[in-house]
A = this chain, B = another copy of it.
Amino acid sequence: MIKDIRKSNRPVYMMGIAAKLAGMHPQTLRIYERKKLVCPQRTAGSTRLYSDKDIEMLKYIQELTRELGINLAGVKVVLELEKERSVQEDRFDQIREEMDKVREEMRQEIEEVRRQYRRELVVFPKGKLMRRY
């Protein structure tokens, strides 16, 4: 399976590049890190390295702050809630899938019952049915 490059976790961009990609001030990225909103990897010399996923997150946080006017405490909670929601949606899909499976199993079981009775019945010349022995 080929990984989606746009969402890779591989740390690649230094802070300056990341800031330009996200259209933000480098200092802002440090603030976000202190508030545990976007936490990039570090090199041995403690230089930050941002992944594409981090960049996406930065852009999304920007939407929440600039367009909706949410402060960082709010952003944190919103991100948590949306994560919970995605988990919930997964569970939802899962249970629906399970329901389809149950339907199919039940259908097959009914079929099996029918087949079993059919196997036990034989047709006699005059069109009558009898148990096989």
Contact = CB atoms under 8 A, between A and B. Distances in A.
A79 to B, nearest CB: 10
Interface residues of A, number: 38
Given A109-B110, A128-B131, A74 B70 contact: yes
A98 B77 CA distance: 33
Given A102-B103, A128-B131, A131-B121, A75 B74 contact: yes
A31 interface: no
Interface string A90-133: 01100110110011001101100110010011000000111101
A89 to B, nearest CB: 8
Contacts of A109: 106, 110
Interface string A57-83: 000000010001111011101100110
Interface of A: 64, 68-71, 73-75, 77-78, 81-82, 84-85, 88-89, 91-92, 95-96, 98-99, 102-103, 106-107, 109-110, 113-114, 117, 120-121, 128-131, 133
